[in-house]
Amino acid sequence: MSIKEQIDLQRLPRHVAIIMDGNGRWAKQQGKIRTFGHQGGVKAVRDTVEGAAELGIDVLTLYAFSTENWNRPKYEIDALMHLLVQSISKETPTLMENNIRLATIGNTDSLPEKVAKNLKKAIEKTAGNTRMTLVLALSYSSRWEITHAVQRIAQEVKDGTLQPEEINEKVISEHLNTSLWPDPELLIRTSGEARISNFLLWQIAYAELYFTQKLWPDFRREDLFEAIVDFQHRERRFGKTSEQLKSEHA
């Protein structure tokens, strides 16, 4: 049985998030400079996006550039931004063919004008697509996002449109960049690192975490399928006992 056939399509995670890591090491293994690895990562993005859409995942969020990544050497940031401009334009037809809508989370204002412009164009062009939403986290960090949410909530309290006692988990979720989508149920990180690196801290409260040694440029849809099969073998208890869950499903 192929790995895809092992997936129970009735129990798919609605939202999968991926920390795409290991581009630099992949390049280094081949004696190439780090930016070669970022170029290699584009193919992995394309294949994973198509694989997710083909399965019927509703939302796929990809961590492409973190707030902290601005601290990298300038040549690497420039190369990454150039690659983003190129790839967004080049991949828009694929998004259209696959009926995929593009969205973004993060501090778009901090992106070079060319990236922001291309991103906006692709988002507008794909706005009517309905099969899957591809969310690119760009210049994103969770603490940045939460800080902004708190600022906006505080402003509403100051303006008198929100009472402090009305602030609950739903209100907080609604003020995050991800307000339109359900929380990720599965979070994948490639390259063997077992950390979250400031990604979706609020939203992954109950996500299943999946770590793989594969470096991002080597990741393909079969690797996504493998992660989903693993996810489907887990018991998501949400604080309850295993016995409780069994009697609920009986």
What are the residue numbers of the active site?
A: 21, 69
Among 39, 110, 197, 232, interactor with ligand IPE by CB under 6 A: 197
CB of 232 to Mg ion, least distance (A): 28
Q: Considering CB distances under 5 to 8 angstroms, the limit depending on partner class, which of Mg ion, ligand IPE, none binds residue 173? A: none
φ/ψ (deg, to 5) at 89: -65, -45
Binding of ligand IPE by 120 (CB under 6 A):
no
Among 69, 98, 108, 232, binds ligand IPE (CB under 6 A): 69
Residue 22 or 51: the one with the smaller Cβ distance to Mg ion is 22
Alpha carbons 4 and 183: distance in angstroms, whole number: 24
Q: Residue 44 CB, nearest distance to ligand IPE (Å)?
A: 11
Q: How far apart are the C-alpha atoms of 46 and 218, rounded to whole Å?
A: 12
Alpha carbon distance 15, 49 (integer Å) = 12
- Local structure of residue 95 (DSSP, 8 states): H
Minimum CB–partner distance for residue 53 and ligand IPE (Å) = 21
Number of residues that bind ligand IPE (CB under 6 A): 19
Show the tokens assigned to 128.
Answer: 């009517």
Paired tokens of 219: 């990741």
Distance between CA atoms of 205 and 146, rounded to whole angstroms? 14
Structure tokens at 11: 């129990």
Is residue 211 within 8 A of residue 191, CB to CB? The reply is no
Rule CB under 6 A: say whether 35 interacts with ligand IPE: no
Task: Retrieve residue 106's tokens.
Answer: 């993060």
* Residue with smaller CB distance to ligand IPE, 118 or 191: 191
- Minimum distance between the CB of residue 161 and ligand IPE, rounded to whole angstroms? 35
Q: For residue 13, what is the DSSP state?
A: -
- Which residue's CB comes closest to Mg ion? 21
Residue nearest to ligand IPE (CB): 24
According to CB under 6 A, which one of 66, 67, 126, 203 is a site residue for ligand IPE? Answer: 66
- DSSP three-state, residue 220: coil
**Smallest distance, Å, CB 41 to ligand IPE?**
7
From residue 11 to residue 30, the character string flagging contacts with ligand IPE as x (rule: CB under 6 A) and all else as - is --------xxxxxxx-----
Q: Which contiguous run of DSSP H or E holds residue 248? A: helix 242-249
